[in-house]
Amino acid sequence: MEEKVTELYGSLVFGDKVMRDKLPKDVYKALRKTIVKGTHLELDVANAVAIAMKEWAVENGVTHFTHWFQPLTGFTAEKHDSFISPTGDGEIIMEFSGKELIKGEPDASSFPSGGIRATFEARGYTAWDPSSPAFIKDKTLYIPTAFCSYTGEALDKKTPLLRSMDALSREAVKLLHIIGNKDVESVITTVGPEQEYFLIDKEDYKKRRDLMFTGRTLIGAPAPKGQEMEDHYFGALRPRVSAFMHELDTELWKVGIPAKTKHNEVAPCQHELAPVFDTTNVAVDHNQLTMELMKKIAEKHNFVCLLHEKPFAGINGSGKHNNWSMSTNTGVNLLDPGKTPGESTQFLLVLAAVIKAVDEYADMLRLSVASAGNDHRLGANEAPPAIISIFLGDELTAVIDAIEKDSFFKKGESVLMETGAAVIPHFARDTTDRNRTSPFAFTGNKFEFRSLGSSASVATPNIVLNTAVADAMAQFTKQLEAVPAEQLEDAIHQLIKATIIKHKRVIFNGNGYTDAWVEEAEKRGLYNLKSTPEVLPRLLDQKNVELFTKHGIYTEKEIKSRYEILLENYTKTIHIEACTLREMMYHDFMPAVNKFMDDLSQQIIRKKTVCESLPVGAQQKMLATISEKYELLCEAVSVLEANIEKAEACEDELSKAKFYHDPVFTDMLKIREYADFIEKYIPDEDLPYPTYSKILFYV
Ligand code: ADP
Ligand code: MG
């Protein structure tokens, strides 16, 4: 079995081994140089690569190729072309050129551009990204590409991500050179995203309009049991789920995704998958592909995979933990504190840069995870709060304190754990405990950004993180570059100290779920940006525009377009949800309630006909209770209808988004409150859709 997996792994990837086998030596070298150092690739090299790629693909049964890209919809896009080329005599040959590999020209008019391009200007280009390997899926060769407009503006998530990785590498190398680490030529950022998801029965899914149209349930009374027994977390996998996970792992391994960890999550029907970390660009592509394969393979097992941030009210939603670090080309993890963090100048300087970056651009980090779906989680005491803060743990906090107070810090002895059971070997305890409530936690040799939503691409949070840290490093470089060598050590120490003093307000090791923290954070002047419409306008703040333009991540035009798209996306999401809820009320819920009330009334009448003196108080009481709430429900639905119209009539996108947040979204909550109350009384067979109990406990 072991051998099989090692053979299977990456078998559908045009990876290093295939390249070495298939490419002429000089072509291989040129391509490697492009991949590792980001150098320009000549057309003749591309031609040779294209031939080898096609040959390898055709050997594997492939007939088509596609430029695979990540438009601002948040999903991936693809357009397939076959390799066939008629030879004029009724025959064909399979052909693929360097030009086709490098550049594609999909009609871009239907992808969001946020006003960058009018619809009649349809031209857009996709450009090959050699740093993310091509792979085979469904008999098609997938070529990861960037996507831009005719005038060169980025219309995707990959382009700015690659720009941000370059910026970080550039600034990190400059800083490392100044502090004497002259061997370093480049720095990569690494990411390991842990992905949460729900698996529910396909039959149940198909019966619920809300799940079909919005990915989440808009109404639904809680099941008698939720997650309070904590029996699902890490629980034994049910056979059907296990079979799904097994097939998923196998398919992921084939396309070179190092799926590593899988387990049941806190909520019933919720699970998690984590791969081994990779370069950010590859990790982002792989996460997109993972989500796609999860959905596809779920279907095969008669499941539907829900990636929405909050599919069910009352139990945990899903997120993504973005484990992030930086690594030099000489193989050093810049966030590895080593044995004596207090003595490692390089580690402390890099740590200070991250602290400064997170404090100065906390609003952008919050923005990078903002969506209608994720608004349900942040601040709801299941995911980190909307306030961005950093958890450092006891040991690093002691180091930081010591620096601030100029006192000497010595690392404590590592504590040996004894479990009390003789058969269990003793093991050394980690120097940091876990803190579930922190949005940005140091976890030994990396930071874990935990506010991400489960359905979104992890590109944007990493763009912000890379850029903000690059900026902090650039500022450090500026302060240190003119310092004479003999004063350098002292200057670095002073710089670290000053940075800590200035930015320590963002460090918080306590419980982020308490009201006390909300108050404390306000006193410290930290942002608490609760909803998407509240956070989005910050993208246009001068400090943020300057950050992105200065480092060449976005042009001003690109920033404006992204702002427009994010607003529109929020508005459209709530609009669809509101319309779905209205439809569900009129088509499913209200008829069911009416029928039940009618049945109840008939029963009362019939009872009376049988015998005038039979008691009907209980039925009448129930009828009254339901009728009363039903009146309120109908009223609330009318209000919602009117407000949807008002929202659509709003002049500008920001007021529209705000109007959808309040009152439209608030109206929906009100309706839900009444509906969930009534649903408790309605028999299952009268409801045209499955309840929470059925969905969450009968898989
Ligand atoms: P936990 O649930 O304890 O947070 P997991 O093992 O589920 O841990 O996930 C940790 C993730 O962090 C994995 O994807 C792992 O590969 C990743 N990781 C480890 N080291 C680094 C690093 N230097 N840079 C980025 N990610 C890392
Ligand atoms: Mg984790």
Give 160-189 as a 3 state SS string.
Answer: HHHHHHHHHHHHHHHHHHHCCCCCCCCEEE
From the CB of 434, is ligand 1 less than 6 Å away? Answer: no
Burial class (CB in 10 A: 0-12, 13-18, 19+), 412: exposed
What is the whole-number distance in angstroms between the Cα of residue 187 and the centre of ligand 1?
19
From the CB of 280, is ligand 1 less than 6 Å away? Answer: no
To which H or E segment does residue 128 belong?
A: strand 124-128
What is the whole-number distance in angstroms between the Cα of residue 321 and the centre of ligand 2?
6
User: Is the pLDDT score of 406 beyond 50?
Assistant: yes
What is the whole-number distance in angstroms between the Cα of residue 563 and the centre of ligand 2?
30
From the CB of 446, is ligand 1 less than 6 Å away? Answer: yes
pLDDT value of position 120? 55
From the CB of 521, is ligand 1 less than 6 Å away? Answer: no
536-540 long-range contacts, CB within 8 A, separation 24+:
536/367, 536/370, 536/563, 536/566, 536/567, 536/570, 536/654, 536/657, 537/563, 537/654, 538/363, 538/364, 538/367, 539/364, 539/367, 539/563, 539/566
pLDDT value of position 416? 46
What is the whole-number distance in angstroms between the Cα of residue 676 and the centre of ligand 2?
34
From the CB of 257, is ligand 1 less than 6 Å away? Answer: no
Give per-residue pLDDT as tens, 672-686: 999 999 999 999 999
Can you name the residues that pair with 261 across neighbouring β-strands? 274
Which ligand lies nearest to the CA atom of residue 265 in the structure? 1
What is the whole-number distance in angstroms between the Cα of residue 198 and the centre of ligand 2?
17
User: Is the pLDDT score of 451 beyond 60?
Assistant: yes
pLDDT value of position 235? 79
Q: How far is Cα 292 from Cα 163, in angstroms, rounded to an integer?
A: 25
From the CB of 577, is ligand 1 less than 6 Å away? Answer: no
User: Is the pLDDT score of 411 beyond 50?
Assistant: no
User: Is the pLDDT score of 627 beyond 70?
Assistant: yes
User: Nearest residue CA, atom 22 of ligand 1?
Assistant: 325
Residues in Cβ contact with 655 at an 8 Å cutoff, skipping those fewer than 6 apart: none
From the CB of 276, is ligand 1 less than 6 Å away? Answer: yes
Instruction: Please report, as a single letter, which amino acid is at residue 135.
Output: F
Model pTM? 0.94
Looking at the CA of residue 191, tell me the nearest atom of ligand 1: 25
Which ligand lies nearest to the CA atom of residue 436 in the structure? 2
- CA neighbor of 387 nearest in space, from 451, 473, 436: 451
User: Is the pLDDT score of 410 beyond 60?
Assistant: no
Positive or negative torsion for Cα 297, 298, 299, 302? positive
pLDDT value of position 419? 46
User: Is the pLDDT score of 128 beyond 80?
Assistant: yes
Query: 600 is written with which tokens?
Result: 């109840």
Q: How far is Cα 295 from Cα 209, in angstroms, rounded to an integer?
A: 18
Mean pLDDT of 6-16: 95
From the CB of 194, is ligand 1 less than 6 Å away? Answer: yes
User: Is the pLDDT score of 426 beyond 70?
Assistant: no
User: Nearest residue CA, atom 17 of ligand 1?
Assistant: 192
Give per-residue pLDDT as tens, 264-299: 888 999 999 999 999 999 999 999 999 999 999 999
Looking at the CA of residue 192, tell me the nearest atom of ligand 1: 14
User: Is the pLDDT score of 427 beyond 60?
Assistant: no
Positive or negative torsion for Cα 242, 246, 251, 257? positive
pLDDT value of position 433? 63
Pocket test for ligand 1, best of 168, 196, 277 (most atoms within 8 A of CB): 277
- CA neighbor of 72 nearest in space, from 159, 136, 12, 10: 159
Give per-residue pLDDT as tens, 489-534: 999 999 999 999 999 999 999 999 999 999 999 999 999 999 999 9
Cβ 347 vs Cβ 341: under 8 Å: yes
pLDDT value of position 407? 75
Q: How far is Cα 520 from Cα 533, in angstroms, rounded to an integer?
A: 24
Place 557 in a pLDDT band, splitting at 50, 70 and 90. Answer: very high
Q: How far is Cα 498 from Cα 400, in angstroms, rounded to an integer?
A: 11
Query: 514 is written with which tokens?
Result: 């308490």
From the CB of 274, is ligand 1 less than 6 Å away? Answer: yes
What is the whole-number distance in angstroms between the Cα of residue 162 and the centre of ligand 1?
21
pLDDT value of position 112? 82
pLDDT value of position 380? 82
What is the whole-number distance in angstroms between the Cα of residue 546 and the centre of ligand 1?
32
pLDDT value of position 415? 47
User: Is the pLDDT score of 432 beyond 70?
Assistant: no
Task: Tell me the percentage of the chain whose pLDDT exceeds 70.
Answer: 95
Secondary structure of residue 415 in the 3-state scheme: coil
